[in-house]
Amino acid sequence: MSHEKPLEGKVALITGASRGIGLAIAHCVAGLGAKLALCARDPKRLEAAAAGLQQPGATVLAVPADVRGANEIASLVRQTEQSLGPVDVLVNNAGIGYFAPVQEASEANWDSVLDTNLKAVFLLSRAVVPGMIRRRAGHIINIGSLAGKSAFAGGAIYCASKWGLLGLTQCMAEDLRAHGIRVSAVLPGSVATDFSPHAGKDTSRMLQPEDVAHAVESILTQAPQSFISEVLIRPAQKP
């Protein structure tokens, strides 16, 4: 392992990796030398993202999957381990939003958001943690949101998923730190992606996907005797 490639030989699994924050994280982690397993629901978009990451010496595996299902997660982890090796870094980035007054929301809205933003993190982490425990090493990074600390009108379901994600992350960190596994949360404010509408905002002053990727890089390259448990990211100026 070199200082220029601190993740050389390591395997990183990134969900929601076909665009936006996930794709920016994939580019960053590839630059650190890791072998990549990319996951997203749209096969065509995922293949295009993987093609854009192909460089001399790079190893990129694209696995279309819906992370809301335990069977698809098991297949995703199995394909990753068979092709690349055991997962050293898991970035739980896949997420969806629903923004409307709580009285207008349906049970289907609740299930879709909570299954994607929270249940999937539990299922994927549970799938890779046993191997990390055996190796006494690993990183799990959960991409949350400042909505996990703030309330706003129309955000009931989304905020519930992100508040829950923060609680899950903190408890996982306590469960796993004795096994050499570091669990962290990155909580950005609004990022200039197509995740949600940004009408009336100056997107050039908003957070960019690369800002979140930079936080992930900081977590993955910290000294071994410590871990960054939580990173909050805001724009320098309000857009």
H-run or E-run covering 23 = helix 20-31
Give yes or no for a contact between 20 and 209, defined as CB atoms under 8 angstroms apart: yes
Distant-in-sequence, close-in-space partners of 46: CB < 8 Å, separation ≥ 6 = 17, 18, 38, 39, 40, 62, 63, 64
Give yes or no for a contact between 39 and 61, defined as CB atoms under 8 angstroms apart: no
Beta bridge partners of 233: 188
- Cα(70)–Cα(161) distance, rounded to whole angstroms? 18
48-54 contacts at long range (C-beta below 8 A, 24 or more positions apart): 48/18, 49/17, 49/18, 49/19, 49/23, 53/26, 53/27
Give, as one character, the DSSP assignment of residue 237. Answer: S
Q: Which residues are catalytic?
A: 158
- Cα(90)–Cα(87) distance, rounded to whole angstroms? 7
> How is the beta sheet containing 138-143 ordered, strand by strand?
60-64, 35-40, 11-15, 89-92, 138-143, 181-188, 230-233
- Cα(92)–Cα(103) distance, rounded to whole angstroms? 29
